[in-house]
Amino acid sequence: MTTVVVERGQVVGLDAYPSRCLHPEKLDATRAQLLSLEEAGELSDVFRLLADPTRARILYALLEAGELWVCDLAATVAVAETSVSQALWLLRTAGIVRNRREGRVIYYPLDDAHVRLLLDVSREHLAHRQG
């Protein structure tokens, strides 16, 4: 059986593709800058955390407010406190948020400026795509 590929709506055989790289001069430089498998896995884990709408809204609430505790976050994003607590545990474990205790209350801010930048750029990208 001949293997075929659909390209631009046309069915073509695999023999239609070149057997060698088209731009071998770019490969070494590109490989030198490529993420390692470990880095790629860690990065995909971060984006997987952002893939949940509740967690994304929690992060943007923290971006706007600076820091909030579970009760205020739950009221802000209109989700049960237990769901917010679970989301914060995941985000804290991943280093996306941290916590600060004040008496019996634990406040949650974003971990650092890198997280803020990631959220800002992501929202800007979304607005750019929609506009």
Phi/psi-derived region of residue 12, left when phi > 0, alpha when psi is between -120 and 50, beta in every other case: beta
36-130: what fold? Arc Repressor Mutant, subunit A (1.10.10)
pTM of the model: 0.76
Please say whether the dihedral angle defined by the alpha carbons of residues 105, 92, 73 and 62, taken in this order, is positive or negative.
positive
Give 6's strand partners. 11
**pLDDT per residue as tens, the chain (131 positions):** 455 555 566 665 655 555 566 777 788 888 889 999 999 999 999 899 989 999 999 999 999 999 999 999 999 999 999 999 999 999 999 999 999 999 999 999 999 999 999 999 999 999 988 87
How far is CA 36 from its chain centroid? 17
Cα–Cα distance, 129 to 131 (Å, whole number):
6
Residue 111 contacts residue 95 (beta carbons within 8 Å): yes
